[in-house]
Structure 1
Amino acid sequence: MASIRSDVLSRALDAPAEPSLRLLPPVVAELLRALGAPPRLAAHLRAVHDVAVELADWVADRYPGLAVDRGAVLFGAATHDVGKTVHPAELSGPGSAHEAAGRDLLLRHGFAPDLARFAATHASWDDPEVTIEDLLVSTADKVWKDKRVPNLEDRLVQALAAAAGHEPWEEYLALDDLLTRLGADAAHRLTFQAAFPIGQCPVQPS
């Protein structure tokens, strides 16, 4: 039974999807295997990470002079809900205990604070201290399932417009077009995630 559950986690991490979903960064996949992460969580992190790649690449193309830490955005998207390995009830129900727990878990596993923070900040886009990287991770965590959050998008638009010296309405139209396109594949991502069980997998021996 343990082997079967581990195989399911491996499929969530490695299986092809339609449309295709990029694989998680190897260091994240290794961590999820070591934690015995629920397969559905791994599938969810893949979906959000895939959208984050699209967002980060769009920002790089549209704002070539804007310094955005692409690697941090992708790591943040790939690990934002890792605290749900500690609070698995929050995979299927509400709760925010996974946020601080995820940050602390990443710190314990040797990840730098500036990377671990996304696990705690992905739902805190109203905080005045959030960065563009935080806002991109938060946006990916919503638009993967075609959920639009106006105040989050407004924060991102304002940040991008200020950095680029453009009018906010121009950036809103451009971002809206991108998010509409990304949202069009939400049903496929949701189907992929739902194909995997919520139950925890056996923790790999260290």
Structure 2
Amino acid sequence: MSPTNWSTGPNSTTPSWTFDRHAVLFGAATHDIGKVLHPEELSRPGSEHEQAGHDLLIARGVTEELTRFARNHASWNDPSISTDDLLVSVADKVWKGKRVTDLEQLLIERLSEADHQRPWEAFVALDDVLDHIAQDAERRLAFQAEHPVVPGAG
């Protein structure tokens, strides 16, 4: 899989960060797939869906390189977690409108180190993007709540 560079625009002075676009998009789309086996976790906290999602994807022939996101998306404090994993973890939180300082700081440290820039520069570039994504969270969550999967939920 080829890496992708991300920046805020073609004329931007913001640095570009390299990541595996295909893997991150796959991870963002499938990280909660285990909730099909644990639908109660759609409306309340739980972590059984993480390993279940990984196993479900493996059973269907998806590579470990891609299935890891289902298992790792809540394990962002693990030192072995990659920058791609952190991107999926941040996406999981920001989609819901949650800004998790410790998680974002880990990502900022990785991005600033990879691009040889000061952490505040990475923060400035990332913060605007995350704010933009988070601003529509209330609408997304309301839509989700209108369509409960678990009987009696919502």
TM-score class normalised by the smaller sequence: 0.7 to 0.9
Contact 2:96 2:138 in 1 (8 A): yes
Task: Please name the residue that 1:132 is paired with.
Answer: 83
Q: State the Cα distance separating 1:169 from its structure 2 match.
A: 1.1
Q: How many Å separate the matches in 2 of 1:119 and 1:96? A: 10
- Tell me the C-alpha RMSD between the 2 structures: 1.7
Give the TM-score taking structure 1 as reference length.
Answer: 0.65
- Structure 2: 5+ residue stretches without partners: 9-14
| Mapping for residues 36-185 of structure 1, pairs under 5 Å | 60-62=6-8, 63-64=15-16, 66-185=17-136
Q: How many Å separate the matches in 1 of 2:134 and 2:117? A: 25
* Relative contact order higher in (CA < 8 Å, ≥ 6 apart): 1
Partner deviation per Cα, 1:87-141 (whole Å, 9 max, x = no partner): 1221112211110111011000110010011000000110101111101100010
- Structure 1: 5+ residue stretches without partners: 1-56, 201-206
Q: State the Cα distance separating 1:184 from its structure 2 match.
A: 1.2
Bigger helix share: 1
Aligned residue-pair number: 142
Give the TM-score taking structure 2 as reference length.
Answer: 0.85
Task: Please name the residue that 1:12 is paired with.
Answer: none
Q: Percent identity over the alignment?
A: 53
Shift in alpha-carbon separation, 1:72–1:96, aligned structure 2, 3 A? same
Task: Please name the residue that 1:192 is paired with.
Answer: 143
Contact 2:40 2:150 in 1 (8 A): no
Q: State the Cα distance separating 1:183 from its structure 2 match.
A: 1.4
Q: Secondary structure of 1:123's partner?
A: coil
Partner deviation per Cα, 1:168-195 (whole Å, 9 max, x = no partner): 0111122122212221111221122223
